[in-house]
């Protein structure tokens, strides 16, 4: 039973990571943009949600208001800065979006203050559900799994079946072609960027009740998201999904089981301290192994 | 050579170096020890930026994990020191060796990839070192560790701020000298040729991978040196010295100063610290308390530099990048 | 005549597409062997396998009697297999003379020398100047490669390819994008090089091909349908239909 619960925790983390990675891999694949500031949108989503939830006193209403607001933030970033970077080399993009991270971190500090915020688990989900006889699981985490799966399916449908998805897939392989189709490419890029921001914001606000809302919350997780899209293959939604689920499981293995295994060979206190670090290290080692085997990731296009 | 010494840009560079060399005396004269400590840190970060410039500037390799070398250099000193080995003659070579070995490992794996993959894999490897450092509970974990300074008994006392500053300054001059020779050497030309057109260089018969690998080893060693100095500057090591933000800061310094220009990293490191130290009080002057949010100004400044001032300070001074 | 390069039954697939279909081709010392064929016939794919930037799925490539099928690009170049590119490929950040100097440097031992100053190496500069003079570019020595005209960049490419005194030159459309005058100069240049090395020439300009080639191989849909002298090619009915017919029409 314990194993099942940990697997579910891994799935839940993996889905959150997928939401973050999906937007990143889209902007990478379609606009060829290395957007380090994607994690800032994750953070903005959580802070904006905190404000709306405090104001409306309802998690659901607050979240529903926060998503379009994050979309608007994303579109503003796209129009003001990001679109000027598409044609630039990666170094310019890294530098500019690194500047954006610094900007957003201090902007949040100025608006919301240096102390972290917490978002409570909504009351209607603040209980446990018996998923199997004898196995209790928090309803909120289950809700994340449901919403995350729903969004992943929606995205898969969007990319595979709709006109927008067709344009996205075409844009990834040939930008000139979609311009030639008479599509307003600037609008398309703004939309995709905004969509990525919404996914990031959704991940941020859903993670908030489990972790906390704080400055720089998007930075470390962003690097994990980069690991995911690089491992999965840049531009591939499928790759991002597979890698995100893998990272989710690996993280849980490292966090929960590694400590136990380590305790067998070392001092318990040291084992508990080292396990989270080693689990992170494990993720990077897997990424390195994948890239040695396939330099463009699991589902990336061959060079 | 003689006429080149008197161009305005050479004059500015010379003035800057003289100022840095005389800083301990200036600090003593005005009675402000803070200037000296900032100055020493500028010199150390300039060494790190010079080392990044070797691969980023001349090699065109966008490494986003350079802080890892600083961390490894620093932790090598700290770990040896915590275990009772205080001699700099042991610590420093061990630290440089460790940084070089790490550079070999990272380069061997990451140079197989290109573009964004390269940026991300170097970043990920640096994170790996970061998490290893924060997992070392015996050496302070996340909080870091106070350490004793390296001992070069009878030669130099690193606890003396002025002597330590001069040592760092001498090492910076050595790094700049090496970088100048390096950029004009047959090796440097191969590296720059590969930046310009990798496929062409391979077709000419250059095993580009090997040359880039060696460039990474050299840059890693200099990065490790900066880490050794940084650990000695504060008598303190912590994972923060190798966080990914530091790797970003180093890229900022290199680009801000002028990418692929020998003295660029020096200008960049200086400008970086001067901006930080002046934006805070400057904003506080505008409105009490705004100084804390200086990055609201600094961040967009980086965007503007990326978009409009790619040549950095060096191009303002009329340096051509090579 | 001895064979410099022998490619034997090369096969290369891209997904379902057979880009190189059992092609055998050889180049002898002192000859210019032209490779012609319509667009998409797989000429550049074939050259890429010969130079090593693509690995064939099967078949072998021998150069100077040695099996080089698995050797990387730079190792083949060092054996004396030089190439020019279909899309001009010079080091744009460097001066013309430095482009040639680097090409020559590739063949003078290793370049793991960190402190020597190339500007003070007069032997290096002189050799590069002679290399530039050989293609008639000595007057443009200090001009950045990016500022050279298209025709001059093509000439520079040849000078770079000659930098290592190659045994064999693979020329991928050296006349592409050139005016008639520049083309004439290039034909003269290549003709003069015949004594120094063998050449495999890919070219669309039929006038140039017939002026230069000793033998011609016709590639259609990845298959080498015929190899022969220019006269044989002119008379061959299948070739006329498949390729020259188009040209004539």
Structural domains in chain A, sorted by start: 2-293 (1.10.3470)
pLDDT at A177 (0 to 100): 67
* Residue B198: closest C-alpha in chain C: C91
- Using a CB-CB cut-off of 8 Å, the residues of chain B touching A94 are 62, 64, 119, 248, 251
CB contact under 8 A, B202 and C111: no
Among B157, B164, B151, residue whose Cα is nearest residue B86: B151
Distance CA C76, CA C64 (A): 11
Which chain B residues are within 8 Å of C94, Cβ to Cβ? 192-193, 196
Q: What are the chain B neighbours of A269 within 8 Å (beta carbons)?
A: 137
* Domain residue spans of chain C: 3-248
Q: Give how far B14 is from chain C: nearest CA, Å.
A: 22
Q: What is the pLDDT of residue C248?
A: 43
**Which residue did the predictor score with more confidence, C213 or A271?**
C213
Q: Tell me how close the Cα of B297 comes to any Cα of chain A, in angstroms.
A: 7
Is the model's pLDDT at A12 over the cut of 90? Answer: yes
B193 touches chain C (CB under 8 A): yes
Q: Does B93 touch chain A (CB under 8 A)?
A: no
Collapsing DSSP to helix, strand or coil, A142 comes out as helix
Q: Contact at 8 Å (CB) between B13 and B32?
A: no
Whole-angstrom Cα distance, residue C223 to residue C230? Answer: 19
Please tell me the least confidently modeled range out of B40-44, B207-211, B213-217, B256-260.
B256-260
pLDDT band per the 50, 70, 90 thresholds, residue B76? very high
What digits encode the pLDDT tens for the residues C38-49? 888 889 899 999
Strands C215-220 vs C223-228: parallel, antiparallel or unpaired: antiparallel
Q: What is the pLDDT of residue B286?
A: 85
How many CB contacts within 8 angstroms connect chain B with chain C? 101
For residue C215, give how far its alpha carbon lies from the nearest alpha carbon of chain B (Å): 25
Mean pLDDT of B223-234: 97
The closest of B14, B321, B322, B258 to B6, measured between CA atoms, is B14
Which of C73, C86, C121 would you mutate first to test chain B, the one with the most B CBs within 10 A? C73
CA atoms of B48 and C25, how far apart (whole Å): 53
The set of chains that have 3 or more CB pairs under 8 A with A is B
Quote the minimal CA–CA distance from A292 to chain B in Å: 6
Q: Average of pLDDT values for A26-33?
A: 84
User: Measured between CB atoms, does C113 come within 8 Å of chain B?
Assistant: yes
Helices within A162-267 (DSSP H only) = 163-173, 175-180, 185-207, 217-232, 237-252, 259-265
- A148-162, A286-300, B60-74, C189-203, range with the lowest pLDDT: A286-300
Beta bridge partners of C67: C62
Say yes or no to pLDDT of C246 above 60. Answer: no
pLDDT tens by residue, C97-111? 999 999 999 988 788
d(CA A169, CA A178): 10
Contact at CB, B204 and C93, closer than 8 angstroms: no
CB C161 within 8 A of CB C137: no
With beta carbons less than 8 A apart as the criterion, state whether C79 and C68 touch: yes
pLDDT of residue A303: 46
Q: How far is B12 from chain A (nearest CA, A)?
A: 26
Task: Determine whether the interchain pair C74/B206 forms a contact, defined as Cβ–Cβ distance below 8 Å.
Answer: yes
pLDDT of residue A63: 93
- When pLDDT is averaged across residues A270-298 and rounded to a whole number, the result is 81
CB atoms within 10 A of CB B238: 23
Q: Which fold has domain C3-248?
A: Rossmann fold (3.40.50)
For chains A and B, CB pairs below 8 A equal: 145
d(CA A253, CA A10): 8
Q: For residues C3 and C1, give the distance between their C-alpha atoms in angstroms, rounded to a whole number.
A: 7
Domain ranges of chain B: 3-316
Express each pLDDT in B49-65 by its tens digit.
Answer: 999 999 999 999 999 99
Rounded to the nearest angstrom, the minimum Cα separation between C235 and chain B is 37
At residue C98, the pLDDT reads: 94
The verdict on B305 touching A (C-beta cutoff 8 Å) is yes
* Percent share of chain A, pLDDT over 70: 94
Cβ <8 Å between A234 and B116: yes
Q: d(Cα A154, Cα B309) in Å, to the nearest integer?
A: 42
- pLDDT at residue A176, rounded to an integer: 65
HEC secondary structure over chain B = CCHHHHCHHHHHHHHHHHHHHHHHHHHHHHCCHHHHHHHHHHHHHHHHHHHHHHHHCCCCCCCCCCHHHHHHHHHHHHHHHHCCCCEHHHHHHHHHHHHHHHHHHHHHHHCCCCHHHHHHHHHHHHHHHHHHHHHCHHHCHHHCEECCCCEECCCECCCCHHHHHHHHHHHHHHHHHHHHHHHHCHHHHHHHHHHHCHHHHHHHCCCHHHHHHHHHHHHHHHHHHHHHHHHHHHCEECHHHHCHHHHHHHHHHHHHHCCCCCCHHHHHHHHHHHHHHHHHHHHHHHCCCHHHHCHHHHHHHHHHHHHHCCCHHHHHCCCCCC
User: Which position has the higher pLDDT, B196 or C178?
Assistant: B196
In this complex, the residue of B117, B135, B305 whose CB is nearest that of residue A95 is B305
Residue A302 has what pLDDT?
Answer: 56
Integer CA distances (angstroms), B34 to A169, B39, B284, in order: 56, 8, 19
**Residue B125 with chain A: CB contacts under 8 Å:** 284, 288
The domain made up of B3-316 has a fold known as ABC transporter involved in vitamin B12 uptake, BtuC (1.10.3470)
Whether B114 sits inside 8 A of A295 (CB atoms) is yes
Question: Does residue C109 come out as left (phi exceeding 0), alpha (psi in the -120 to 50 range) or beta?
Answer: left
Please answer yes or no on whether B251 and A94 come within 8 Å at the CB atom.
yes
pLDDT of res. A161: 84
Cβ-Cβ contacts under 8 Å, A84 against chain B? 307
Q: Given pLDDT bands bounded at 50, 70 and 90, which one contains residue B221? A: very high
Per the prediction, chain A carries an average pLDDT of 87
Nearest residue in B to A274, CA atom: B135
pLDDT for the residue numbered A219: 85
Complex ipTM: 0.89
Is the predicted pLDDT of residue A179 greater than 80, yes or no? no
Q: Give the count of beta carbons closer than 10 Å to the beta carbon of residue C56.
A: 22
φ, ψ dihedrals at C67, nearest 5° = -75, 115
pLDDT grade, residue A178 (50/70/90)?
A: low
Contact A269 B137 (CB under 8 A): yes
Mutate to test the interface with A, among B124, B138, B250, B286 (most CBs of A within 10 A): B124
Distance of CA B230 to the CA centre of its chain: 10
CB count in 10 Å sphere of residue C240? 15
pLDDT of residue C244: 57
Contact: A273, B141; criterion CB under 8 Å: yes
Number of other CB atoms surrounding residue C65 within 10 Å = 9
B127 contacts A284? CB cut-off 8 A: yes
- Interchain CB contact of B300 with A (< 8 Å): yes
Q: Whole-number mean pLDDT of chain C?
A: 88
Pair B272, B288: CB distance under 8 Å: no
Of A95, A223, A303, the CB nearest to B123: A223
* Interchain CB distance below 8 Å, B200 and C117: no
B182 in contact with C, Cβ within 8 Å: yes
Return d(Cα C122, Cα C127) in angstroms, integer: 9
C92 touches chain B (CB under 8 A): yes
pLDDT at C134 over 80: yes
Instruction: Flag if C74 and B185 touch (Cβ within 8 Å).
Output: no
């Amino acid at each position: 039973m314990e194993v099942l619960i940990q697997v579910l925790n891994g799935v839940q983390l993996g889905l959150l990571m997928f939401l973050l990675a999906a937007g990143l891999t889209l902007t990478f694949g379609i606009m060829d943009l290395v957007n380090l500031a994607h994690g800032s949108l994750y953070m903005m989503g959580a802070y904006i949600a905190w404000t709306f939830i405090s104001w409306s006193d309802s998690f659901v209403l607050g979240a529903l208001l926060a998503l379009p607001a994050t979309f608007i933030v994303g579109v503003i970033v796209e129009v003001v800065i990001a679109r000027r970077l598409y044609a630039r080399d990666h170094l310019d993009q890294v530098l500019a979006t690194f500047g954006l991270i610094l900007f957003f971190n201090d902007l949040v500090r100025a608006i919301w203050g240096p102390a972290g915020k917490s978002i409570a688990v909504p009351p209607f989900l603040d209980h446990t559900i018996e998923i199997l006889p004898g196995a209790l699981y928090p309803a909120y985490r289950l809700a994340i799994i449901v919403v995350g799966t729903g969004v992943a399916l929606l995205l898969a449908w969007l990319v595979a079946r709709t006109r927008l998805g067709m344009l996205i897939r075409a844009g990834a392989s040939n930008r000139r072609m979609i311009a030639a189709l008479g599509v307003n490419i600037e609008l398309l890029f703004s939309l995709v960027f905004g969509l990525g921001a919404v996914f990031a914001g959704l991940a941020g606000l859903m993670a908030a009740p489990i972790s906390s809302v704080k400055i720089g919350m998007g930075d470390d997780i962003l690097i994990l998201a980069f690991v995911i899209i690089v491992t999965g293959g840049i531009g591939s939604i499928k790759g991002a999904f597979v890698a995100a689920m893998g990272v989710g499981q690996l993280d849980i293995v490292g966090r929960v089981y590694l400590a136990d295994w380590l305790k067998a060979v070392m001092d318990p206190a040291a084992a508990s301290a080292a396990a989270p670090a080693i689990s992170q290290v494990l993720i990077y080692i897997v990424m390195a192994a994948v890239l040695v085997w396939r330099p463009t990731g699991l589902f990336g296009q061959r060079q | 050579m003689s006429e080149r010494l008197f161009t305005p840009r050479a004059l500015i560079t010379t003035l800057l170096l003289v100022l840095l060399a005389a800083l301990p005396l200036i600090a003593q004269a005005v009675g402000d020890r803070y200037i000296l400590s900032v100055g020493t840190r500028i010199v150390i970060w300039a060494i790190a930026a010079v080392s990044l410039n070797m691969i980023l500037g001349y090699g065109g390799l966008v490494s986003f994990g350079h802080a890892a070398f600083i961390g490894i250099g620093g932790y090598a000193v700290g770990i040896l020191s915590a275990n009772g080995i205080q001699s700099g003659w042991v610590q420093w070579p061990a630290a440089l060796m460790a940084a070089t070995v790490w550079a070999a490992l990272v380069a061997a794996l990451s140079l197989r990839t290109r573009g964004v993959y390269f940026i991300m894999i170097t970043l990920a490897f640096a994170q790996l070192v970061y998490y290893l450092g924060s997992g070392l509970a015996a050496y302070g974990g996340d909080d870091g560790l106070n350490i004793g300074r390296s001992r070069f008994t009878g030669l130099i006392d690193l606890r003396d701020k002025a002597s330590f500053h001069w040592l760092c300054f001498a090492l910076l001059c050595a790094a700049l000298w090496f970088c100048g020779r390096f950029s004009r050497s047959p090796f440097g030309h191969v590296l720059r040729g590969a930046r310009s057109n990798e496929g062409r260089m391979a077709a000419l018969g250059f095993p580009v991978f090997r040359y880039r690998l060696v460039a990474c080893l050299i840059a890693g060693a200099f990065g490790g040196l900066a880490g050794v100095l940084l650990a000695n500057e504060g008598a303190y090591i912590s994972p923060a010295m190798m966080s990914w933000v530091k790797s970003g800061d180093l890229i900022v310094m290199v680009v801000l100063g002028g990418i692929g220009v020998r003295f660029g990293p020096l200008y960049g490191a200086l400008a970086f610290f001067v901006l930080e130290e002046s934006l805070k009080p400057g904003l506080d002057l505008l409105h009490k308390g705004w100084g804390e949010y200086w990055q609201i100004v600094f961040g967009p400044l980086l965007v503007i530099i990326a978009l409009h001032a790619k040549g950095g300070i060096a191009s303002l001074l009329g340096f051509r990048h090579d | 005549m001895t064979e410099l390069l022998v490619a034997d039954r090369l096969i290369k697939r891209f997904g379902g597409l057979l880009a190189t279909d059992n092609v055998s081709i050889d180049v002898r010392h002192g000859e210019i062997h032209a490779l012609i064929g319509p667009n998409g016939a797989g000429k550049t794919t074939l050259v890429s396998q010969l130079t090593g930037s693509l690995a064939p799925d099967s078949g072998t490539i021998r150069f100077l009697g040695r099996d080089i099928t698995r050797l990387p690009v730079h190792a083949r170049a060092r054996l004396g297999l030089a190439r020019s590119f279909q899309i001009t490929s010079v080091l744009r950040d460097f001066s013309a003379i430095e482009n040639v100097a680097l090409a020559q440097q590739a063949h003078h031992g290793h370049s793991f020398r960190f402190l020597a100053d190339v500007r003070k190496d007069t032997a290096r500069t002189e050799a590069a100047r002679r290399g530039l003079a050989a293609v008639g570019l000595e007057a443009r020595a200090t001009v950045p490669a990016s500022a050279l005209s298209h025709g001059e960049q093509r000439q520079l490419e040849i000078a770079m390819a000659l930098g290592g005194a190659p045994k064999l030159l693979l020329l991928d459309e050296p006349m592409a994008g050139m005016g008639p005058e520049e083309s004439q100069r290039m034909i003269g240049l290549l003709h003069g090089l015949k004594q120094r090395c063998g050449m495999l020439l890919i070219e669309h300009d039929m006038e140039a091909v017939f002026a230069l080639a000793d033998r011609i191989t016709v590639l259609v849909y990845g298959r080498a349908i015929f190899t022969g002298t220019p006269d044989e090619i002119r008379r061959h009915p299948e070739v006329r239909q498949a390729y020259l017919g188009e040209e004539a029409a």
